[in-house]
């Protein structure tokens, strides 16, 4: 068993790289709730090459990240190799691996020849991976999808190309690029990739709780699990999956007030990390309160929050809805009016 294979066996529950979502604040909260390995947001190798400080800041580690995986995207072998080496120099012993994104289906990414479009050019993908492998000492991994065009499964063959180029592991998402994030992920392809390569395979797609995590691992034979959208507003999903994999009873889901408490803390941490990034909290806050009483009114208010105090005010009102489900109609209307006032105040400031 390789060193990286052993590492993955001890870090089986992984937070996925998510552009605009998995910043160091979210990663901190997910680690607190059981995530065993975290990935940075998807980072442009070309952006690093241009010296973009905004791009460089995506490499900032969470205080809880002893090691972190860094995901790069790009299609030029020389640029990818040079910037991977630069990342390794900057991160030192805190770098778990360099991951290469060959699965992002976003139009603005694939139209430049990056992300999932590399699945259409396996020779070029091989060159990118091989160049990065030769440039760094840390393991190099690759994340890709079932295939590019819907109905044309290429992942098993593509995985073999990536292994031949020297990758230490692959992550397979069970949807085609053409599906974006719609439809159901096919776990069967993950099992087929496991059988086609000798390196570890990380499974990704539709893991939403401990039960589904256990099922994916049992049915596909993958080494580790990568969780993406199920973690949005729900860091507790990692506790659930860890418990299931270890044969323990899964913890009770968080109460509405526990969800709001975590959302409030997330907002304060976001403001402390970077006050200018507080707008990112709008979607995070909406995820935390999804399905709660008063959520529809709160979502409208979140869209106009521009300070941590704005968020606190909305969370205060959500607590009114959720402390006691037997609130009078007058009390409900009062809370709704206060959220509406916050929305109007936000409009005046924008």
Q: Annotated catalytic sites, by residue? A: 104
How many beta carbons lie within 10 A of that of residue 256, not counting itself?
20
In the three-class reduction of DSSP (H, G, I as helix; E, B as strand; rest coil), residue 305 is classed as coil
Q: Could you tell me if 148 and 116 are in contact, meaning their C-beta atoms sit under 8 angstroms apart?
A: yes
Beta strands in the chain (DSSP E): 13-15, 37-38, 43-44, 68-73, 95-102, 140-147, 169-176, 201-204, 224-227
Picking from 298, 283, 293, the residue whose alpha carbon sits closest to that of residue 337 is: 298
* 76-224-3-57 Cα dihedral, nearest 10 degrees: 50
Q: Could you tell me if 267 and 308 are in contact, meaning their C-beta atoms sit under 8 angstroms apart?
A: yes
In the three-class reduction of DSSP (H, G, I as helix; E, B as strand; rest coil), residue 99 is classed as strand
Reading the block at residue 326, the tokens are 């037997």
Angle at 225 between CA 35 and CA 113, to 5 degrees: 105
Q: Could you tell me if 72 and 59 are in contact, meaning their C-beta atoms sit under 8 angstroms apart?
A: no
CA distances for 321 relative to 168, 264, 292, 328, angstroms? 50, 16, 8, 10
User: How far, in Å, CA of 164 to CA of 147, rounded?
Assistant: 18
- What's the 3-state SS for 253-286? CCCHHHHHHHHHHHHHHHHHHCHHHHHHHHHHHH
How many beta carbons lie within 10 A of that of residue 337, not counting itself?
12
């Amino acid at each position: 068993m390789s060193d990286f294979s052993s590492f993955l066996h001890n870090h089986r529950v992984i937070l996925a790289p998510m552009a605009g979502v998995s910043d160091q604040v979210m990663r901190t909260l997910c680690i607190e709730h059981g995530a065993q390995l975290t990935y940075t947001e998807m980072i442009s190798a070309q952006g690093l090459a241009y010296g973009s400080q905004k791009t460089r800041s995506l490499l900032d580690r969470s205080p809880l990240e002893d090691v972190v995986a860094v995901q790069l995207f790009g299609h030029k072998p020389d640029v990818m190799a040079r910037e991977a080496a630069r990342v390794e120099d900057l991160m030192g012993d805190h770098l778990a691996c360099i991951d290469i994104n060959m699965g992002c289906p976003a139009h603005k990414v694939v139209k430049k020849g990056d992300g999932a479009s590399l699945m259409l050019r396996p020779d070029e993908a091989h060159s990118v991976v091989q160049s990065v492998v030769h440039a760094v000492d840390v393991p190099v991994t690759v994340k890709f999808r079932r295939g590019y065009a819907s109905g044309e499964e290429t992942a098993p063959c593509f995985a073999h190309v990536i292994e031949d180029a020297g990758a230490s592991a692959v992550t397979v998402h069970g949807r085609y690029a053409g599906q974006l994030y719609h439809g159901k992920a096919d776990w069967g392809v993950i099992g087929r990739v496991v059988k086609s390569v000798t390196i570890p395979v990380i499974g990704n797609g539709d893991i939403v709780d401990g039960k589904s995590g256990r099922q994916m691992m049992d049915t596909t034979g993958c080494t580790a699990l990568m969780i993406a959208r199920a973690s949005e507003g729900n860091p507790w999903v990692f506790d659930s999956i860890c418990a299931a994999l270890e044969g323990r009873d899964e913890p009770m889901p968080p109460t509405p007030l526990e969800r709001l408490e975590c959302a409030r803390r997330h907002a304060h941490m976001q403001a402390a990390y970077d006050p200018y990034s507080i707008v990112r909290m709008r979607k995070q806050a909406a995820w935390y309160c999804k399905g709660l009483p008063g959520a529809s009114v709160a979502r409208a208010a979140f869209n106009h929050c521009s300070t941590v105090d704005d968020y606190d005010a909305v969370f205060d009102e959500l607590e009114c809805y959720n402390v006691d489900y037997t609130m009078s109609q007058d009390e409900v209307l009062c809370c709704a009016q206060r959220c509406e006032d916050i929305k109007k105040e936000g409009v005046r400031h924008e």
